[in-house]
Structure 1
Amino acid sequence: MNLLDFEKPIAELEAKLDDMKHLARDSDKEVQAAIKALEKKILELKKETFENLTGWQRVQVSRHPDRPYTLDYIYEITSDFIELHGDRTVSDDKAMIGGFGSIDGKTFMLIGQQKGRNTKQRQLRNFGMANPEGYRKALRLMKLAEKFNKPIVTFIDTPGAFPGLEAEERGQGEAIARNLKEMFMLKVPVICIVIGEGASGGALGIAIGDRVLMLENTWYSVISPESCSSILWRSWDYKEQAAEVLKLTAKDMLQQKLIDGIVKEPLGGAHTDLKWMAAEVKKVILTYTKELEKLSSEDRIQQRIDKFCAMGVVSE
């Protein structure tokens, strides 16, 4: 089991509970009462812990090694996902995946960053950090969805676009900038969901949508807490302080009107119940798609533009 530091007191109580259950006899009423009391105490401690997580702790949950990734959600909510490959220019970027899939009989274009579970997979997926060809592949698939009038759903989970020299040589900045421009003008509904890390332009490159949502224990910011700390203090030691100042949690983002909603996670995080979490994601996708399809493409585009142009505007 992968435990975060603040989860250890809960895990200790759960281990004690398992021991009590193992040793208890059905006829022993006192032990059964103690077990119920301990179960209640664990539940209360979990609620108190996860309702009051700091910004840095939510960053930790968003990076939990057992947390569901893009393909986990896609395989759970679709019945016949068909992955499409390549940007038709350079190569097929394994950090960015996408393809058509059916959700309750309706076809969607599903796109997102994909991380790996083990060392080999992480190397293959480049830790979820896409190269320019990844963003160009994403745009190609979005244009394909527009051609066939299919709604688009993007799943955002990246520590950032790949910062290597070869990525810059192939036009990383231009690829992301083009995605931003083109996504504003897509004629089909676009729903963007931050399912893990949402760092910098690497996240924004597939996050221009009619509805932008965040899972409860995710973060979305121009820079990671560690990088912010290293720039301001020349050390990673102040990452907790940076996480608070950056206001990068879902609650902060909604308060600042930078996102349209928060998708609640099960107690303990999305990794504790994939099926429940996937069902919630599926529900919001279908709900918002139905809502957006009532609008004309012109109205959707204008509302999309107006929403992003209003961000950061201050009136005195």
Structure 2
Amino acid sequence: MAERLILLDFEKPLAELENRIDQVRNLAKENGIEADDKIVEQITQLELRADSLRQEIFNSLTPMQRMQVARHPRRPSTYDYIQAMTDDWMELHGDRRGNDDPALVGGFARLGEHPVIILGHQKGRDTKDNVARNFGMASPGGYRKALRLMEHADRFGIPVITFIDTPGAYPGVAAEEQGQGEAIAVNLRQMFSFGIPIVCTVIGEGGSGGALGIGVGNHLMMFEHSIYTVATPEACAAILWRDAAKSYKAAEALKITATDLKSLGVVDQILPEPIGGAHRNPLAAAATLKEALIGNLDRLIQLEPGQLKQHRYEKFRQIGVFLE
């Protein structure tokens, strides 16, 4: 019931139908007729209609609607997936330069039989938590912390898993003064040099250089309702048309959805979500992600360090190639 308190516009017809099911069920219970054949049949028919409507709605989402799902406040976060999928999680802090950014978290864990280092953007659950974590927008200290952990992983031959979920790197004056662009650029360069498996997953919103700062891997996955984009549709519309209201038009043009990016060769694998989005059934989403991660790690750990570097290089060289 808690999820229904946060409704997206296109979910309202579905919510009305689900409320009607609850009303029928509650009335039947109050009158002691919940076992009546006609009541059971009516509820069953309404539930079938709700399932059909939910599938119809979520199979025909526009790019802008998918972005709304990707930004849903109840959508599972990095910590949620870590808790649901891994054992022996030990978070590590600090970039050893005086900063510890809570918007980008990382540490050791065990995923199945694999010891791994996990890195990911972390948004908040409420306003206070979002402010504390800067809405998942990492500062230079966050990217330098990530680099420190990846260098440690490379030194000891530990695979790296990254979870991408940010509208972008923090664009504030302080971040620029501390070298935001340089910190991301160094991460991009160094991630190409690591001789370990790196698997990246867009779990929600992947925006701009903030996503790329932990996004150079041997295998890139996206949940089907997540988005990955060079700039948010709102920012793109404001730049091109000086009108943020045209963000729906920008979302279409930017090709931000998993399906579009898979067809363009940017994304390697699309992970299915429970009908209604990952926030409807976080444990099912986590099980899907865990299976995909273990499968890819099993495959990639068979490669030598030099092969992993070459694989990563060729993967990114092929992005954007086209024939006239």
> The TM-score by the shorter chain falls in which range?
over 0.9
Partner Cα distance (2:188, 2:143) in 1: 10
1:48-87 equivalent positions in 2, closer than 5 A: 48-87=56-95
Corresponding residue for 1:13? 17
1:169 aligns with 2:177: yes
- The residue matched to 2:105 in structure 1 has which SS? strand
Partner Cα distance (2:141, 2:25) in 1: 54
1:311 aligns with 2:304: no
- CA distance change for structure 1 residues 276 and 27 in 2, over 3 Å: closer, same or farther? closer
Q: Which amino acid aligns with 2:53?
A: L
Unaligned runs of 5+ in 1: none
Q: Which amino acid aligns with 1:151?
A: P
| C-alpha displacement of 1:27 | 4.8
Corresponding residue for 2:302? 294
Corresponding residue for 2:248? 240
- Equivalent residue in structure 2 for 1:273, among 274, 281, 286: 281
- Equivalent residue in structure 2 for 1:178, among 166, 182, 186: 186
- CA distance change for structure 1 residues 234 and 31 in 2, over 3 Å: closer, same or farther? same
Q: Name whichever of 5-14 and 88-97 sits farther off.
A: 88-97
The one-character-per-residue Cα deviations of 1:86-117 (angstroms, maximum 9, x if unpaired) are 11113111111000001124211000110111
Residue identity (%): 49
Corresponding residue for 2:137? 129
Partner Cα distance (1:114, 1:81) in 2: 16
- The residue matched to 2:107 in structure 1 has which SS? strand
| C-alpha displacement of 1:32 | 2.1
- The residue matched to 1:109 in structure 2 has which SS? strand
| C-alpha displacement of 1:315 | 2.5
Partner Cα distance (2:110, 2:150) in 1: 16
Corresponding residue for 1:104? 112
- The residue matched to 1:223 in structure 2 has which SS? coil
| C-alpha displacement of 1:28 | 2.9
Task: Quote the RMSD (CA, aligned, Å).
Answer: 1.0
Q: Which amino acid aligns with 1:224?
A: T
- Equivalent residue in structure 2 for 1:216, among 224, 230, 247: 224
Partner Cα distance (1:33, 1:52) in 2: 29
Corresponding residue for 1:28? 36
Partner Cα distance (1:296, 1:105) in 2: 19
| C-alpha displacement of 1:29 | 2.3
Counterpart contact for 2:101–2:139, Cα < 8 Å: yes
Q: Which amino acid aligns with 1:261?
A: Q
Q: Name whichever of 231-240 and 176-185 sits farther off.
A: 231-240
TM-score normalised by structure 1 residue count: 0.98
Q: Name whichever of 293-302 and 157-166 sits farther off.
A: 293-302
Partner Cα distance (1:30, 1:74) in 2: 45
- The residue matched to 1:91 in structure 2 has which SS? coil
Partner Cα distance (2:139, 2:290) in 1: 28
Corresponding residue for 1:42? 50
Partner Cα distance (1:113, 1:29) in 2: 50
Q: Which amino acid aligns with 2:179?
A: G
Unaligned runs of 5+ in 2: none
Runs in 1 of length 4+ with deviation above 6 angstroms? Answer: none
Counterpart contact for 2:25–2:34, Cα < 8 Å: no
